[in-house]
Amino acid sequence: ADGYLLAANLYDSSLYCFGKGKSATTVEAPLTAVALGQSVVLSGTVMDMSPGMPNTPCVSAEDMTAWMEYLYMQQTKPASVKGVSVSLDAVDANNNIIHIGDPVTDGLTGEFSYIWEPEIPGKYTITATFKGTDAYGSSSAGTAVGVVSAPTAAPTAEPQVIPDYSVLIYVLIVAVVVAI
């Protein structure tokens, strides 16, 4: 009903509901402004919020069977699990939309990270979007990054040249000796 399938499992005597689970996406950026020309690390998570096991990582379709057997049927935890793709996009200070990248989450933790270098100074509004799969519904989250103009380098002072008075001193000494 409503896109969900209920089935009994004789292995553990439980009733299972198959269908799209809710997901939750987070994204974080540095809380301080960075100078233009510096990179920032954008990081976050994409988690499965299904009622049976909330706050577990969303995993790829090809690893879904082994992951669900681990979560719900006490099977061995898979050694490696592929995560899901997250779209990182930004709106810059001029209201231009910029596609930053498409990192893939770590299947065992649900975490992703991406190194990005903003192109102009100003406030960027960052959105992380998980588009969903056959197993998970979509979700998104946002944050902001501040970029300030790079500080200008102070002009370097040229070294001060100290005049050489040694010749004048010798001349005065010779003049004093001649005068005496």
* Better-scored residue on pLDDT, 156 or 25: 25
CA atoms within 13 A on the CB side of 43: 10
Average pLDDT of the residues in 17-35:
92
Q: Over the chain, what is the mean pLDDT?
A: 91
The answer to whether residue 105 scores a pLDDT higher than 90 is: yes
- Report pLDDT for 84: 97
The answer to whether residue 12 scores a pLDDT higher than 90 is: no
* Better-scored residue on pLDDT, 69 or 166: 69
- Report pLDDT for 153: 66
Place of tokens 């588009």: 131
Calculate the alpha carbon distances from 12 to 24, 38, 76, 93 in Å: 28, 54, 16, 55
The answer to whether residue 73 scores a pLDDT higher than 90 is: no
Q: Is 135 exposed, middle or buried (0-12, 13-18, 19+ CB in 10 A)?
A: buried
**Per-residue pLDDT tens for 136-171?**
999 999 999 999 997 776 667 777 777 777 777 877
Q: 46: how many CB neighbours lie within 10 A of its CB?
A: 29
User: What is the C-alpha separation between 98 and 3, in angstroms, rounded?
Assistant: 35
Tokens coding 99 = 């596609």
Asked if 98 and 92 touch (Cβ cutoff 8 Å), the reply is yes
